[in-house]
Structure 1
Amino acid sequence: MRAKTVLPAVAMTAVSMVLALAVVVMWLGAAVPWPVALVVGLGIDGGWLATLAYERRLAAQGDHRRAVTAVGWCFGLIATGVLVAHALTAGGAVAAWLAVAWLPVAAKALWLVHGLWEQTALTPAALDAIRGIRQEARDEAAVARARLRAEAATEETRLVAVTQAGARVARTQARTAKTLARAWATLETARSGEDTGRALTCVTSRVTPGVTPRWELPVWGPSEAVAALETAGPALTDAALDGLVDEIRHSQSPALSYRETAARFRAAGHSASEVRLRAAWKRVAAADRGPLGREEQS
């Protein structure tokens, strides 16, 4: 890559120096001896070349001097001015000499481009690292795009499934509502019919003589919330339960049966499961019978 910028600058500089030397020798050779013209041409080219070499040395050291750059541009402009002046005084070949008069300025511009390239040039290792970083960034971007597309497809599938399930639920609810509406309409027709009450009374009069029941079918309407049950008190221990059962059982003579005891126990506001209450009643009854009762029970 270095040769792509330095070779054109070297070639154009060499051509510009040769043209400047030839023009000075031809232009001044008619007025002064040709050795003098040759010295003038070599002086211009030598000063230009020396200034260019100094600029390249400073650039290799990472330095820059504006004065040296200005002197180099002055020599380039002098060479260009010589070419333009010769072209204007050359008679019929003016256009041909003007066509090459820009070469010294172009050579200086190419050296400027080469200097800028050197300031921004990177080593092969750095370029490889940059290529690796850019490739890694492209890979990560591609993976991120693929992940986003996959997530979008998954979310779309989920939404479609949820929508279809919701539609099925809505259709089922609509069919159920229609079925319930028809059922309640049938019940309402049966309830408001004139012969419904007589038919039901005829059926039940033999079971409940002298009683005329009032038949009312349920009405489909808003329901009322049922009050929550009060929280029961702490559970009774076995000893306390045995004491209550014994007290209720012997509240009258003869002793109450289990059904009567259980009914009075719950009527008094006590709470116990059926299994515990029956076990307590058995323990109290066994204690009343004594050892003989236990032997008979065994």
Structure 2
Amino acid sequence: MRAKTALPAVAMTAVSMVLTLAVVMLWLGAAVPWPVALVVGLGIDGGWLATLAYERRLAAQGDHSTPVTAVGWGFGLIAASVLVAHALTAGGSAAWLAVAWLPLAAKALWLVHGLWERTALTPTALDAIRGIRQEARDEAAVARARLRAEAATEETRLEAVTGAGARVARVTATTAKTLADAWSTLERARAGEDTGRALTSVTTRVTPDVTTRWELPVWGPVEAMAALEGPALTDEVLDALVDEIRTSRTPPLSYREMATRFRTAGHSASEVRLRAAWKRVA
């Protein structure tokens, strides 16, 4: 790579030196002997080449010398001046002026090549930079893919949760409507005038000489009463307590109200015995 970048500068320098030597021989050859003209031309080219070689050695060592650089540019200006002067004094000046800039262009190319050398990186460093960039691109691509996957997963989860919630809401609404209809029917049956007589007529033959009062369940909150421990009541005492509590208000209390007051008063009896006592006194 270094040879490729230095090749244009080398070619431009060689052409400039050849042109300078040829111009000196043509321009001074008529005024002085040709060996003298040859010495002058080689002196200009040799000085230029020597300063250039010294600059390149300093650049290879990582150093720089301003005087050497100034001398090198001086030789380049001398060569360009010789070409310009020959173009102005000889025939075909346009053609010679067209190549008069080559010495300065060669120096500029060497300057560019030096700047490239100071900023050039080794193949190992370039490979490391390419690897770092590729790794950064890979990580960015993976991060984008992960974000897209997480977004798709979250969207799917939200859709599933929303759908499940909608189904639960529909089932709850349907269940509530069905339960409300059932309790409405039960309440109408409870409030009917003929419900008690119909149920009593069914159980008359099972419980003769007993007037049974049937009550359907009531839809409402139920308060659990703690069972109290105490001496077991006889049927006579239990019947008397149930009848007293039942008739303590007008109209007589229902079984539910009587049972609540019975247990609140501190009495203890099983639900079966309490229900049987209620049936006997009612």
Please, what TM-score do these two structures have when normalized by structure 1?
A: 0.62
2:7 maps to: 7
1:115 maps to: 114
2:55 maps to: 55
The one-letter code sitting in structure 1 at the alignment partner of 2:3 is A
| 3-state SS, counterpart of residue 198 of structure 1 | coil
Q: Does 1:166 align with 2:139?
A: no
Q: Does 1:198 align with 2:188?
A: no
Any stretches of 5+ residues in structure 1 without a counterpart? 231-244, 249-257, 270-298
Q: Does 1:259 align with 2:260?
A: no
The one-letter code sitting in structure 2 at the alignment partner of 1:37 is A
Given that 2:79 and 2:103 are in contact with CA atoms closer than 8 Å, whether structure 1 keeps it comes out as: yes
Q: Does 1:18 align with 2:13?
A: no
Cα shift at 1:183: 4.3
Task: Note the alpha carbon deviations across 1:103-136, whole angstroms, 9 max, x for none.
Answer: 1122112211221222123333333333333343
| 3-state SS, counterpart of residue 64 of structure 2 | coil
Q: Distance in 2 between matches of 1:133 and 1:82?
A: 53
CA 1:143/1:197 → structure 2, altered by over 3 Å: closer, same or farther? closer
2:250 maps to: none
Q: Distance in 2 between matches of 1:203 and 1:131?
A: 97
2:104 maps to: 105
The one-letter code sitting in structure 1 at the alignment partner of 2:13 is T
Q: Distance in 1 between matches of 2:25 and 2:36?
A: 8
Given that 2:189 and 2:195 are in contact with CA atoms closer than 8 Å, whether structure 1 keeps it comes out as: no
| 1:37-186 pair list within 5 angstroms | 37-91=37-91, 93-183=92-182, 186=185
| 1:225-236 pair list within 5 angstroms | none
User: Which stretch shifts more, 167-176 or 12-21?
Assistant: 167-176
Q: Distance in 1 between matches of 2:93 and 2:168?
A: 96
Q: Distance in 1 between matches of 2:102 and 2:158?
A: 72
Q: Distance in 1 between matches of 2:35 and 2:71?
A: 26
Q: Distance in 1 between matches of 2:217 and 2:174?
A: 27
Cα shift at 1:85: 2.8
Cα shift at 1:144: 3.2
Cα shift at 1:157: 2.4
- Equivalent residue pairs, number: 231
The runs of at least 4 aligned residues of structure 1 exceeding 4 Å deviation read 180-188, 204-211, 213-219, 266-269
CA 1:9/1:210 → structure 2, altered by over 3 Å: closer, same or farther? closer
Q: Distance in 1 between matches of 2:212 and 2:124?
A: 114
1:235 maps to: none
Root-mean-square deviation over aligned CA pairs = 3.9
| 3-state SS, counterpart of residue 62 of structure 1 | coil
1:252 maps to: none
Q: Distance in 2 between matches of 1:185 and 1:86?
A: 124
Q: Distance in 2 between matches of 1:60 and 1:37?
A: 35
Given that 1:5 and 1:113 are in contact with CA atoms closer than 8 Å, whether structure 2 keeps it comes out as: no
Aligned-residue sequence identity (percent) comes to 74
CA 1:140/1:81 → structure 2, altered by over 3 Å: closer, same or farther? same
Q: Distance in 1 between matches of 2:38 and 2:169?
A: 106
Q: Distance in 2 between matches of 1:185 and 1:74?
A: 116
CA 1:200/1:187 → structure 2, altered by over 3 Å: closer, same or farther? closer
| 3-state SS, counterpart of residue 259 of structure 1 | coil
